């Protein structure tokens, strides 16, 4: 298995554990996005990617829900 295969759980020397989000050939200069557990999404050049495989499976991340901004109440002085 290639370290840049989609779904691979890897260990990076600087960012720690992460999961490869997309896969492409090592011959292309396209970036490989990796979702790190503590540092979020980072992109690396596929040809320059140096990582080790990690044991286990990547944790599932819940998508953050966006809260709608609350409507600001209108003061009586502003209404005039």
**In the chain, where the domains are located:** 1-56
pLDDT bracket for residue 58 (50, 70, 90): confident
10 close to 34: Cβ distance less than 8 angstroms: yes
Average pLDDT over residues 13-30: 77
Average pLDDT over residues 34-60: 83
Burial level of 24, CB count in 10 A (0-12/13-18/19+)? Answer: middle
18 close to 36: Cβ distance less than 8 angstroms: yes
Per-residue pLDDT at 77: 66
Per-residue pLDDT at 29: 59
Q: Residue 1: is its pLDDT beyond 50?
A: no
Average pLDDT over residues 48-70: 74
């Amino acid at each position: 298995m290639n370290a840049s295969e989609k779904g691979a759980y890897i260990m990076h020397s600087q960012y720690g554990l992460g999961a490869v989000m997309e896969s492409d050939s090592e011959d292309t200069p396209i970036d490989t996005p990796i979702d790190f557990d503590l540092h979020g999404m980072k992109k690396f050049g596929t040809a320059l990617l140096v990582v080790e495989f990690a044991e286990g499976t990547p944790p599932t991340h819940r998508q953050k829900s966006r809260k709608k901004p609350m409507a600001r109440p209108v003061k009586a002085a502003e209404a005039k």
